[in-house]
Structure 1
Amino acid sequence: MKFSNILSVVALASLPVSLSAHEFWIDPVDYTVASDGTLVAALRVGENFAGAEQPYLERSFERFDMRCAGDLDAVPGRAGDRPALNVAAPQDGLCVIIHQTTDYTLTYDEWQKFVNFVEHKDFDRVLADHAARGLPETGFVELYSRYAKSLIAVGDGAGKDAKVGLLTEIVAEANPYTDNMAGGLPIRVLYNGAPRADAQVELFARPPSGKVTVTLHRTDANGRVTLPVQPGYAYLADAVVLRPLEPRAENDPVWESLWASLTFAVPE
């Protein structure tokens, strides 16, 4: 399955529920915060830019940081805090919130669920590879982890996103709060610090009121793609790596998925 860099907008209702994967993202209450304001954001797991709020739990993440105006600090919190991020805004500038989950596992009891996931995320060779490896169609295990970032403007919001050292991540190559977004937001998708060429990026667009819409995009040879954006909208961009694992024992994972996400908004 191949997509051009920009596809037609697809209404949320037209996407079959069975094809919708569960994303993980950072969901700020406000994407633009006053100089003396507070950074407040929930961690969410769900579908189509709507999902259940997750508490602050140290055992559930490997990393939870904020890089504001170039300074990197751990996000403080207590077990069970909701929202997971609730701290006084530091100095003016662009704040990048960074979250990496621990590893989780999923056992596939239905082959069609794996097929749906693979087809939806556009891993066109995985099903053939699964069969060639002699793997079963049920009872096999996938290992997965999430790598989320969010852009919040404090005060003037000046600054830029950059690589933060996640295994996979989406880097915004312009500032949606200070730069001209008429031509879209350029992003770069990375894996192991290197560009991911020909990678699918799913973009969820949430207007101030109304339906979330979804578009699919592809990175170029340098891992770059420009996402179409509109003033007043909030966005969730999602890109997934799926790689094989060689099990050493029975019930060890045979696939690993790595989920990168980036949330941001475009001011009106």
Structure 2
Amino acid sequence: MSSRHSLAVLASLLFTAIPALSHEFWIEPEEYQVQSGSPLKAQFRNGQNFKGTALAYFDKRNARLEQVIAGQAVPYAGRMGDIPAIETTAPLDGLLVVVHQTAPQTLTYKTWEKFKAFAEHKDFPDIRARHRDRGLPESGFAERYTRYAKALIAVGDGAGSDRPASMETEFVALTNPYTDDPENGLHVQLLYRGKPRADAQIEVFEKAPDDTVTINLQRTDSQGQAIIPIKSGHEYLLDAVVLRPLSDDSPEVWESLWAAMTFAVP
């Protein structure tokens, strides 16, 4: 391994050792539109405001990593320390969906304020009452968190459709950003345990061609669906979080499940 690569891996390890708080995790392809048979590269990123550090590939951090096209899932295995985390060859034409579930990680909160800020930002304003009702301490408690990320990539014409990937929580694109009219927005559905998650907050990060990022909030309807306004030439990250209690015999008292989806509009 080269010294430059070793430094990149070390930086990735140091960054992931820092408490995540409200940092998002997403898959960022180097190109969202590629030709069949051409190189396909994608980064795992962790950060805020659609800007973050590239994370290296490590088997122990991955519970699931697949490339799905036309309903066929192909597991992906990289080399330890790879940056970008995904480096492969684009398959046949169609809508390629990269599906990634991380291994669970744990974060310990030394102060209540940091947990409160995270929970309220992710649309859990009643967190203090719920925490106190369970008789939990307001410092020195732990949270378990898992990421469920998707990336939509157009190979060739990009034709095709997304579908549920049987993850604990996930976004499903009901329309195709590469083939459908962007003026109609992107129709998405948010699932939790395979069922629509109604009245849930979706945080929408929109990156313009000049790399400026704007953020807005959407809510799902009774069917867990929302229409995301999109613009040609822009890149998007959708983020939604489930925050649920864990049983009394667990060392962590809360668990957060992070759904993310990235895509671009031609």
Give TM-score scaled by structure 1 length. Answer: 0.90
Deviations 1:163-200 (A, max 9, x none): 01111000010000001110210100000000000000
Answering whether residue 263 of structure 2 is matched by residue 264 of structure 1, we say: yes
- In 1, the alpha carbon distance for the partners of 2:116 and 2:127 equals 9
Higher percent of residues as helix: 2
- In 2, the alpha carbon distance for the partners of 1:84 and 1:46 equals 16
How do residues 99-178 of structure 1 correspond to structure 2 at under 5 angstroms? 99-178=100-179
- Of all paired residues, the percent bearing the same amino acid is 52
**Contact 2:241–2:259 (Cα < 8 Å) also in 1:** yes
Partner-residue secondary structure (3-state), 1:182: helix
Answering whether residue 36 of structure 2 is matched by residue 35 of structure 1, we say: yes
2:210 matched residue in structure 1: 209
1:231 matched residue in structure 2: 232
The letter for the 2-side match of 1:23 is E
**Contact 2:154–2:178 (Cα < 8 Å) also in 1:** yes
**Contact 1:69–1:91 (Cα < 8 Å) also in 2:** no
Greater RCO, CA 8 A, separation 6+: 1
2:4 matched residue in structure 1: none
After TM superposition, give the deviation of residue 210 of structure 1 in Å. Answer: 4.2
- In 1, the alpha carbon distance for the partners of 2:254 and 2:204 equals 24
After TM superposition, give the deviation of residue 115 of structure 1 in Å. Answer: 1.0
**Contact 2:34–2:40 (Cα < 8 Å) also in 1:** yes
1:255 matched residue in structure 2: 254
Unaligned runs of 5+ in 2: 1-20
After TM superposition, give the deviation of residue 247 of structure 1 in Å. Answer: 2.6
- In 2, the alpha carbon distance for the partners of 1:194 and 1:254 equals 24
Partner-residue secondary structure (3-state), 1:82: coil
Runs (4 or more) in structure 1 with deviation over 6 Å come to: none
How many residue pairs align between the two structures? Answer: 246
Partner-residue secondary structure (3-state), 1:35: coil
**Contact 1:69–1:92 (Cα < 8 Å) also in 2:** no
**Contact 2:206–2:235 (Cα < 8 Å) also in 1:** yes
- In 2, the alpha carbon distance for the partners of 1:168 and 1:71 equals 20
Answering whether residue 193 of structure 2 is matched by residue 192 of structure 1, we say: yes
- In 2, the alpha carbon distance for the partners of 1:257 and 1:64 equals 20
After TM superposition, give the deviation of residue 259 of structure 1 in Å. Answer: 0.2
**Contact 2:120–2:127 (Cα < 8 Å) also in 1:** no
